[in-house]
Homo-oligomer: A and B are copies of this chain.
Amino acid sequence: MGSTERRAREREDVRRRILDAARELFVAEGYEAVTMRKVAERIEYTPPAIYFHFKDKLELVQALVQEDFATLAGHFARLDEVADPWERLARMGRDYVKFATQNPNHYRLMFMTKLPPEVEKMDDPERGIPAKDAYAMVRHLSAEAMAAGCLKPEYQDPDLVAQVLWSGMHGIASLTITMCDSHWIDMRPTPVLTDAMIDALLAGMGTPATIARNLLDKTKTPKRKPKPRS
C-alpha cells in the first residue's frame, strides 16, 4: 500500500471515530449540549483535528444522519426480490425493526432525537433529505399494495397507510430500545411483537384474498417470489 493510500485510509479511520463518538454524544446528551470540543475530548483529539474533517457541528450531524440512513437503506436492499406487495411491506417492517434493535444508537439519533431543523435542510439535488427518502419508500410500497388491490377499498390514502405501518414498527423499535433494561415488564421478544403487529394490521387492513394468500405463504419455504393468486 502506497503512502497516499495509507494516508487516505488513516483519514477515513479518524473520520469514522469522530462520527461514532459524535453519535454517542448526541444520543446521550442531546444535540444542543454537544460541542465540537466534547467530541474531540471523547476520542482524545484536539479540536482542530475535528475541524479538519467537519467545518462545524451542523456539518458533522448532517454527515452522520446521511450515513445512518444509508445503512438503513442497505438493510432494505433485497425487498425487490419479494413479489407479493403486502409481503414486501411486511418484510420492510421486519428489516426496519431489526435495524433498530441491532443499531440502537443509530436509531435513537435518526428517529428518537429532536435535531435542529437545519439538519433537514439538505435538499440539494445531490443529497436529498435522507429521512424523506426512507419515508418515500414505505409510502411507495403502500401505494403499490393499494394499487394491487391488497388493501380494503376504504384505504385510499397511501400516506395514512404508510404512517400507520411506520407508527406500528416505530412503536416496537423504540419501546424495545427504551425498555430493554426495565426489570418490571416482561416484554415479549421483539420478533414476536413485530410479527403480531404485522399480522394484526394485515388482517385489519387487507382484503380477504390478501390475508388468505399471506397465511398460505407462511406455511411454505422459501417465501420469495410466491405465485400471485387473486
Instruction: Give the most central of A113, A159, A164, A193: most B CB within 10 Å.
Output: A164
Decide if A197 is an interface residue (CB 8 Å cutoff).
yes
Name the B residues within 8 Å of A32 (CB-CB).
28-29
Q: A92 to chain B: closest CB distance in Å? A: 15
Chain B: CB-nearest residue to A152: B203
Q: A120 to chain B: closest CB distance in Å? A: 6
Interface size on A, residues (CB 8 A): 50
Q: A200 to chain B: closest CB distance in Å? A: 4
Are A167 and B183 in contact, CB atoms less than 8 angstroms apart? Answer: no
**Per-position 1/0 for A157-173, Cβ under 8 A of B:** 10110011011111110
Decide if A70 is an interface residue (CB 8 Å cutoff).
no
Are B192 and A160 in contact, CB atoms less than 8 angstroms apart? Answer: yes
Which of B29, B167, B196 is the one whose CB lies under 8 Å from A29? B29
Which of B111, B117, B167 is the one whose CB lies under 8 Å from A168? B167
Within 8 A of B (CB), among A210-225: none
Name the B residues within 8 Å of A172 (CB-CB).
167, 171
Are A185 and B135 in contact, CB atoms less than 8 angstroms apart? Answer: yes
The CA of A32 and the CA of B170, in the complex, are separated in Å by 25
Instruction: Give the most central of A111, A131, A167, A188: most B CB within 10 Å.
Output: A167
Decide if A77 is an interface residue (CB 8 Å cutoff).
no
The CA of A164 and the CA of B96, in the complex, are separated in Å by 17
The CA of A188 and the CA of B139, in the complex, are separated in Å by 13
Are A167 and B203 in contact, CB atoms less than 8 angstroms apart? Answer: no
List 21 interface pairs A-B (beta carbons < 8 Å), by A numbering: A28-B30, A28-B32, A30-B30, A120-B182, A120-B183, A123-B184, A132-B184, A160-B196, A163-B187, A166-B171, A167-B172, A168-B168, A168-B197, A170-B171, A170-B174, A170-B175, A171-B171, A199-B204, A200-B200, A204-B204, A204-B205
